Chains A and B, each alone.
Chain A
Amino acid sequence: MSALFEDYNARFSDLRTVGATFVLREKAFKSICGTGNTLILGPRGSGKTTLLKMMKISAQIAAKPTVNFLTLKSIKYRPVYLSADRLFEALTKGVDSENSEFGPILSSISKTLAAIRIKFSFLDTFAEMTDERTNLTPVVSHHFVGLTRTLEVEFCKLLCKTWEIEGDVINIKELRASLFTQISAINRLLDSYTSPSTRSESASLANKLFVDPITSAISFIDCFDSVFPASGKQWALCVDELEIMPHDLQDYFYMNLRSTDHRLLLKIATSPFTSAFSAFDSASPMDNNDYTSVNLSDAKKSESIKFTRQLVSEMVKREGHPGSLSVQAILGKSPITEENSDQKGSEGPYSSPRGAHYQRFRKLAGIDENFSAYLDRNQVNLEELDSLDESSRASKARQAIWQVALRLEHGANQKFRAMGVAKNRQNSRKTISSIYMGAESFLAMCEGNPRVTMGMFRTVLEKFRSNGSKVVSKSAQSEIIESTIAKYLSLLSAIALPLNKNKRHNSSVVTLLELIGEYCASQNLSGIFSPEPLSTFIVDDNLPVDIIKSFGAAINQGAFVMIEDKEKRKSYGRLQGARMRLSYLLCPRYKLPLTFGRSVPIQKILTAKKRGGTEATIRIKDLFQYHENI
């Protein structure tokens, strides 16, 4: 089984590829282009790295002409990209980090390494700015700075003084070589520090070597402004993948959102749940005050669908299909869609007798007494739905279209006889209902996540091609959804959940998903009909820390989405009090709507299940069951 996320990872893409394949996420990108600090949040695969790499001059040079020229031209700061590779861990992995004796020096070394990486990154940007290609490319020409060898010598000598680099260095290449020797020095230092006989000597050397990351950046800007005085502009340090940096560094960069030199902006990309957010206090930087947050996982559904559609359109072109080929032409129309639902008249979805929504409402009213009671209670006349004004129809009918479809498909309406007694039962839980098929549903399930989109639509396009460029069959669509969910669950099953410490078996966060999914489904599919489905939950303040951490890890994988409140809070950081929903990608498994609705405290879900006794722990066989028919 190939991994869901293997299809694309911007971390492994060179800037030219990033630029050439970039699809503009307009609102987010414009926000990052602004001249303030920015915190970019999103789960795995949501496009954080692509957005930050796209800030680089080289990526913009490679960008297609379709990427908004004015947006790129409006970037006033000089972008410096800092990636968080595993260098930090590679150098320190031989050191016992649990040993408190080593804590201070490891912290010091990781900051010093970050400082060296920042120096390299500034030199990279300097090389881009002075490259003649920058001057010749209109979209980035405003970043160009002319460089003579004499100026380069002057600049390097100054940098050597501020960065305390010894030796005769007169050009950027030599400067880079000197920085490499500093990394070697840190290696040697670590070697000697782990030996007790040379530890004290090493500690004093470490103090001498220690360099502060932000100070290194500021000193570069000082030197630059001194040698190129006419060009005084801001610089932006774009820190990528903060979540995989050592905790000290995460805190360091995050806290620096609060106060830095006005010439240096910070653009930080991280997962919604990271250790840096664990201690919000009065000293912490504040959203909208010290920085602007850009949350890629909680975009409005219409925005994320628009972006996904653009992304698929690019894939379609790259695979050699006509550029005009729409997602709907590939997957057909979704049966449950909010699109065109305001259309009136005989062709409208609520019109009697042929409107799709009307037919579902009518059918459910005939078999579900709870729904019938709801219609009576609210004086809803199905024959008049089409003629209602927009607000009445929204409250009486449109809100309920998913609920009606789900009850029809999965409610306990399947009549059967057992022991001579007539009963109702639900459809099998293992099949993906056709209500999740079609363009709009697939687009919604992608959640605006480029990696999921590419993973799903690569297979969709293969099926489309093999089907003679005809609409992909429902069975094939079902297979794609099942297979994607199975891969996703397999990935999530690696996240431990300390739910039952007394029991012998281990739980994963998938158990939590099962509990939430099944609880919501049971509430939605039976009993009193509520037009607004139950599909979100609130994290209680008293939830154990371990479970919070599991939730956080699942959020970072995109399994849960934190929903922003009216004050634009609670979409990242502390989970206590946050409202969350399951990823739309998982909704077909749990028979949940591809929209969000009412909420319930998570504690209620957990205790309800405990009373029930058995636990919905997913097993390996469950994962494989999805693949049996593929």
Chain B
Amino acid sequence: MHRLLIVSDLHVSEESSSDSGPSLISVHPDGKKLGECMFNELVRAIKLEDCDIDWIVCPGDLGDKANRAGQEYAWEKLTWVKVQLNAKHLIGTAGNHDFDSRLITADFDPRANLQSLTPFFPGVSQADCDKYWSRHFCIHNHDGMRVVNLNSSAYHGNATGPSGPEHLHGRVAAQTVDHICEEIKDQTATVNVLVTHHHLTRNDHIYDRDNSEMSGAGKLIKKLTDTTNSPWLVIHGHQHYPEIDYGRGSALAPIIISAGSFSARMSGVHAMASPNQFYVVEIAAPSQVQDGWYPCGTVRAWNWTPERFWEKSPTVHRIPYGAGFGCRMNPTQSARRVLSTLESSAEPYLTLQDILVAEPILGYMLPKDFGLLVWQLEQNGVKVTKTLSALDTTFRKVGAR
């Protein structure tokens, strides 16, 4: 089992007002208190879970608009979290806000801020960091898990191409894809994880206009999958839009976790649906239970509350606490399993927790697939009462519709 703590898109600024600004966290003395509170509470929330963290992953945008003090603060706090949780590794990746693409504070080097962070960014070793900055990726292999850290902002500040300025979108060059695949082809790993900042495919189902996806991502995913013959788990930030989805491809299509922002101030049409969150992604070891689906896992998600603590994200969130991934069963198949469990039970009703004891694979379904399961069950005469905590959802047979 591998556990990754994901803290994305902090956008720490230097705004003096605690009620406005791009992020809830500011390095200004008046705003720092909330930042301290958010990190302290994060540590507290995870310690209450009693789970060991292997990796801390930050998929980019430490500071807002390349704010140097903000980046330093965010990286320092993530390092502090690593110590507090006794996590094994901390890695970040460069976001579009981490590069001073417009050379507002830097004289000539848009990467200067990130490269001057301590410990070295993006982690883990100096050799990893040197490789990341020279070849736009680095690869970590630990305990059977391979993590490819890709710099999707590598060309920001460098050029303006036919598709507009580079800083408006992500990019992976074909050459970089080839280099990655060349390097991983002879290495074995049970789990493959890609960490990057930009999203892989255009998300115009979310936003009316979305042109900031990673150019070259189609080639990247296809070649990674072909090289390893296994589905990849992709973790990215950038859009502040929490979602777990499957990407393009065959049965080996990637699992894509789009991380919500840890502390960016949300506004606009998606603000209500995009809370500030952080996640613990737990990738389960392969077992009979998974019925061949792999990798399977669950996501524990917390969202920030005005009461100033991280609460377990309720089922109404797109990534709720206890969301699954990996099992791509259709609603007819999953409903059949639930119905069978209900019929064999002597209890007047069952909770999801009861059902998962009998059918643990259903715990690896995406939140959206779980919604389809509920719809299918209701068609089959099952009364489902949803609760804020998914595991408390109740099921009972009352008669077909």
Report A's interface with B, CB cutoff 8 A: 2, 11-14, 16-17, 149-150, 152-153, 168, 170-171, 173-174, 176-177
A173, B387: Cβ atoms closer than 8 Å? yes
Indicate whether B107 reaches chain A with its CB closer than 8 angstroms: no
Query: What chain B residues lie within 8 Å of A153 (beta carbons)?
Result: 348
Q: How far is the CB of B348 from chain A (nearest CB, A)?
A: 5
User: How far does the alpha carbon of A209 sit from the alpha carbon of B311 in the complex, in Å?
Assistant: 34
Query: What chain A residues lie within 8 Å of B398 (beta carbons)?
Result: 168
User: How far does the alpha carbon of A439 sit from the alpha carbon of B192 in the complex, in Å?
Assistant: 59
B306, A170: Cβ atoms closer than 8 Å? no
User: How far does the alpha carbon of A17 sit from the alpha carbon of B306 in the complex, in Å?
Assistant: 15
A170, B396: Cβ atoms closer than 8 Å? yes
A149, B349: Cβ atoms closer than 8 Å? yes
B385, A171: Cβ atoms closer than 8 Å? yes
User: How far does the alpha carbon of A79 sit from the alpha carbon of B306 in the complex, in Å?
Assistant: 26
Query: What chain B residues lie within 8 Å of A12 (beta carbons)?
Result: 306-308
Query: What chain B residues lie within 8 Å of A170 (beta carbons)?
Result: 348-349, 396
User: How far does the alpha carbon of A345 sit from the alpha carbon of B393 in the complex, in Å?
Assistant: 74
- With most chain B CB atoms within 10 A of its CB, the pick from A13, A173, A177 is A173
B311, A171: Cβ atoms closer than 8 Å? no
B394, A171: Cβ atoms closer than 8 Å? yes
Query: What chain A residues lie within 8 Å of B394 (beta carbons)?
Result: 171, 173-174
Indicate whether B309 reaches chain A with its CB closer than 8 angstroms: yes
Indicate whether B347 reaches chain A with its CB closer than 8 angstroms: yes
Query: What chain A residues lie within 8 Å of B306 (beta carbons)?
Result: 12
The digit string for B5-37, where 1 denotes a CB below 8 A from any CB of A, is 000000000000010000000000010000000
- The number of inter-chain residue pairs (CB within 8 angstroms) is 38
Which 9 A-B residue pairs are closest in the complex by CB-CB distance? A12-B307, A173-B385, A173-B394, A149-B347, A174-B385, A153-B348, A149-B348, A173-B387, A177-B385
Indicate whether B392 reaches chain A with its CB closer than 8 angstroms: yes
Secondary structure of the A contact surface, majority rule: helix
Q: Which residue of B lies closest to A458 (CB)?
A: B33
A14, B392: Cβ atoms closer than 8 Å? no
A2, B308: Cβ atoms closer than 8 Å? no
Given that A149-B347, A171-B349 are known contacts, is A17 also in contact with B392, CB under 8 Å in the complex? no
User: How far does the alpha carbon of A327 sit from the alpha carbon of B206 in the complex, in Å?
Assistant: 55
Q: Which residue of A lies closest to B29 (CB)?
A: A2
Within 8 A of A (CB), among B370-401: 383, 385, 387, 392-394, 396, 398
Q: Which residue of A lies closest to B31 (CB)?
A: A2
Q: How far is the CB of B17 from chain A (nearest CB, A)?
A: 11
Since A16-B48, A17-B309, A171-B394 are in contact, a sample of 20 more A-B pairs with Cβ atoms closer than 8 Å, ordered by chain A residue number, is A2-B18, A2-B30, A11-B307, A12-B307, A12-B308, A14-B307, A14-B311, A149-B347, A150-B348, A152-B348, A168-B398, A170-B396, A173-B385, A173-B392, A173-B393, A173-B394, A174-B383, A174-B385, A174-B394, A177-B385
User: How far does the alpha carbon of A149 sit from the alpha carbon of B311 in the complex, in Å?
Assistant: 28
Q: Which residue of B lies closest to A153 (CB)?
A: B348
User: How far does the alpha carbon of A149 sit from the alpha carbon of B346 in the complex, in Å?
Assistant: 10
Q: Which residue of B lies closest to A318 (CB)?
A: B40
Q: How far is the CB of A486 from chain B (nearest CB, A)?
A: 16
The digit string for B190-218, where 1 denotes a CB below 8 A from any CB of A, is 00000000000000000000000000000
12 A-B Cβ contacts within 8 A?
Answer: A2-B30, A11-B307, A12-B308, A13-B307, A149-B348, A149-B349, A168-B398, A170-B348, A171-B349, A173-B385, A173-B392, A174-B394
Query: What chain B residues lie within 8 Å of A174 (beta carbons)?
Result: 383, 385, 394
Query: What chain B residues lie within 8 Å of A14 (beta carbons)?
Result: 307, 309, 311
Q: Which residue of B lies closest to A127 (CB)?
A: B392
Query: What chain B residues lie within 8 Å of A171 (beta carbons)?
Result: 348-349, 385, 394
The digit string for B303-326, where 1 denotes a CB below 8 A from any CB of A, is 000111101000000000000000
Q: Which residue of A lies closest to B387 (CB)?
A: A173
Q: Which residue of B lies closest to A11 (CB)?
A: B307
Query: What chain B residues lie within 8 Å of A173 (beta carbons)?
Result: 385, 387, 392-394
Query: What chain B residues lie within 8 Å of A150 (beta carbons)?
Result: 348
- With most chain A CB atoms within 10 A of its CB, the pick from B48, B385, B394 is B385
Q: How far is the CB of A13 from chain B (nearest CB, A)?
A: 7
User: How far does the alpha carbon of A13 sit from the alpha carbon of B308 in the complex, in Å?
Assistant: 8
The digit string for B69-108, where 1 denotes a CB below 8 A from any CB of A, is 0000000000000000000000000000000000000000
Q: Which residue of B lies closest to A13 (CB)?
A: B307
Q: How far is the CB of B26 from chain A (nearest CB, A)?
A: 13
Query: What chain A residues lie within 8 Å of B348 (beta carbons)?
Result: 149-150, 152-153, 170-171
Query: What chain B residues lie within 8 Å of A168 (beta carbons)?
Result: 383, 398
- With most chain B CB atoms within 10 A of its CB, the pick from A2, A13, A149, A168 is A149
Query: What chain A residues lie within 8 Å of B383 (beta carbons)?
Result: 168, 174
The digit string for B337-370, where 1 denotes a CB below 8 A from any CB of A, is 0000000000111000000000000000000000
Q: How far is the CB of B40 from chain A (nearest CB, A)?
A: 10
User: How far does the alpha carbon of A171 sit from the alpha carbon of B243 in the complex, in Å?
Assistant: 32
User: How far does the alpha carbon of A179 sit from the alpha carbon of B182 in the complex, in Å?
Assistant: 60
Q: How far is the CB of B48 from chain A (nearest CB, A)?
A: 8
User: How far does the alpha carbon of A624 sit from the alpha carbon of B387 in the complex, in Å?
Assistant: 50
User: How far does the alpha carbon of A13 sit from the alpha carbon of B396 in the complex, in Å?
Assistant: 35
Q: Which residue of A lies closest to B41 (CB)?
A: A17
Query: What chain A residues lie within 8 Å of B392 (beta carbons)?
Result: 173
- With most chain B CB atoms within 10 A of its CB, the pick from A11, A150, A168, A171 is A171
User: How far does the alpha carbon of A17 sit from the alpha carbon of B307 in the complex, in Å?
Assistant: 11
Query: What chain A residues lie within 8 Å of B311 (beta carbons)?
Result: 14
Query: What chain A residues lie within 8 Å of B387 (beta carbons)?
Result: 173, 176
User: How far does the alpha carbon of A46 sit from the alpha carbon of B396 in the complex, in Å?
Assistant: 47
Q: Which residue of B lies closest to A152 (CB)?
A: B348
User: How far does the alpha carbon of A171 sit from the alpha carbon of B354 in the complex, in Å?
Assistant: 15
Query: What chain A residues lie within 8 Å of B396 (beta carbons)?
Result: 170
Q: Which residue of B lies closest to A150 (CB)?
A: B348
Q: How far is the CB of A371 from chain B (nearest CB, A)?
A: 46
User: How far does the alpha carbon of A150 sit from the alpha carbon of B394 in the complex, in Å?
Assistant: 15
Query: What chain B residues lie within 8 Å of A149 (beta carbons)?
Result: 347-349
Query: What chain B residues lie within 8 Å of A176 (beta carbons)?
Result: 387
Q: How far is the CB of B215 from chain A (nearest CB, A)?
A: 44
Q: How far is the CB of A2 from chain B (nearest CB, A)?
A: 6
Q: Which residue of A lies closest to B389 (CB)?
A: A173
Q: Which residue of B lies closest to A168 (CB)?
A: B398
Query: What chain B residues lie within 8 Å of A11 (beta carbons)?
Result: 307
Query: What chain A residues lie within 8 Å of B30 (beta carbons)?
Result: 2
Q: How far is the CB of B185 from chain A (nearest CB, A)?
A: 49
Q: Which residue of B lies closest to A1 (CB)?
A: B30
User: How far does the alpha carbon of A173 sit from the alpha carbon of B354 in the complex, in Å?
Assistant: 15
Query: What chain B residues lie within 8 Å of A13 (beta carbons)?
Result: 307, 309
User: How far does the alpha carbon of A14 sit from the alpha carbon of B311 in the complex, in Å?
Assistant: 9
Q: How far is the CB of A181 from chain B (nearest CB, A)?
A: 12
Query: What chain A residues lie within 8 Å of B347 (beta carbons)?
Result: 149
- With most chain A CB atoms within 10 A of its CB, the pick from B308, B311, B392 is B308
User: How far does the alpha carbon of A177 sit from the alpha carbon of B393 in the complex, in Å?
Assistant: 11
User: How far does the alpha carbon of A174 sit from the alpha carbon of B308 in the complex, in Å?
Assistant: 30
User: How far does the alpha carbon of A12 sit from the alpha carbon of B347 in the complex, in Å?
Assistant: 38
User: How far does the alpha carbon of A150 sit from the alpha carbon of B30 in the complex, in Å?
Assistant: 55
Q: Which residue of A lies closest to B396 (CB)?
A: A170
Q: How far is the CB of B87 from chain A (nearest CB, A)?
A: 21
Query: What chain B residues lie within 8 Å of A177 (beta carbons)?
Result: 385
Query: What chain A residues lie within 8 Å of B308 (beta carbons)?
Result: 12
Q: Which residue of B lies closest to A7 (CB)?
A: B33
Q: Which residue of B lies closest to A154 (CB)?
A: B348
Q: How far is the CB of B275 from chain A (nearest CB, A)?
A: 17
Query: What chain B residues lie within 8 Å of A152 (beta carbons)?
Result: 348
Q: How far is the CB of A128 from chain B (nearest CB, A)?
A: 14
Query: What chain A residues lie within 8 Å of B393 (beta carbons)?
Result: 173
Q: How far is the CB of A276 from chain B (nearest CB, A)?
A: 27
User: How far does the alpha carbon of A153 sit from the alpha carbon of B48 in the complex, in Å?
Assistant: 32
User: How far does the alpha carbon of A337 sit from the alpha carbon of B387 in the complex, in Å?
Assistant: 57
Q: How far is the CB of A266 from chain B (nearest CB, A)?
A: 26
User: How far does the alpha carbon of A13 sit from the alpha carbon of B41 in the complex, in Å?
Assistant: 12
- With most chain A CB atoms within 10 A of its CB, the pick from B311, B348, B383 is B348
User: How far does the alpha carbon of A25 sit from the alpha carbon of B311 in the complex, in Å?
Assistant: 28
User: How far does the alpha carbon of A176 sit from the alpha carbon of B311 in the complex, in Å?
Assistant: 20
Q: How far is the CB of A184 from chain B (nearest CB, A)?
A: 16
